[in-house]
Amino acid sequence: MDRMAKTGTTTQGLRAAIERSGYYPALVAEAVEAAVGGEQIGSYLVHQETTFDANEVRRHVTVLVLTGNRFIVSHTDEQAADSSSPTPYATTSTESVKLDRISSVVVSRVVANPEAYTPGTLPREVVLTIGWGAVSRLDLEPAACGDPNCEADHGYTGSSTADDLSLRVSEAGDGPDTVRQTLAFAQALSEATAATATPSGATR
């Protein structure tokens, strides 16, 4: 039994989820294990996605892990042979983010027939967007005043949105279990970031 499997049921579940994805499980698991180290895993999400790039079919997998102190994201994708490599290859990257750095956790739900919605019904689609300041999107548009006849230049107005990671899952494409796991991970991450935001000296 390897070190990853020894740390507890949640870690065993993560390894099993990585193996079920069937996407270079030894490579993905090793990268995640190295990033997690000896910390206990509180929640995780494994999401594999297939995309079409011109005439090529490409797969990639994203693994999200929540520990007591950190949010870890690992991404692995495959590349066809090119000028830099005569054979196909895979690239794996991991990023470790302290929980107090996470600035936003956005969960968008798409629900069919909202007029007949029953609490607890699984959304048709979920988009999880997490921001921690590494990437920001700036949306600008010309500013205007209240005078419809004014032709003066009022400069620009806009908004900055944290958009470091955006992950979309659907019941049709990924299955209901993945949708549930995405919602559960989002809730766990939201609760963890709220706990780190508790004022110093306050009771958690």
In this structure, is residue 204 part of a structural domain? no
pLDDT digits (tens, 9 = 90+) for 26-77: 999 999 999 999 899 999 999 998 776 666 777 889 999 999 999 999 999 9
Its domain, for residue 159, covers 1-197
Residue 161: which residues within 8 A CB-CB, separation 6 or more?
131, 136, 137, 138, 139
Question: Percent helix, strand, coil in the chain (nearest 5)?
Answer: 30, 40, 30
Q: Is residue 56 part of a domain?
A: yes
Number of domains into which the chain is organized: 1
Residue 86: the pLDDT is 87
Quick check: is 130 in a domain? Answer: yes
In a domain, 174, yes or no: yes
The answer to whether residue 161 is domain-embedded is yes
- The distance of Cα 164 from the centroid of its chain, to the nearest Å, equals 9
Tens-place pLDDT, residues 118-173: 999 999 999 999 999 754 444 445 667 767 777 777 665 554 444 589 999 999 99
Q: Cα torsion for 162, 181, 17, 26, to the nearest 10°? A: 0
- Residue 203, in any domain of the structure: no
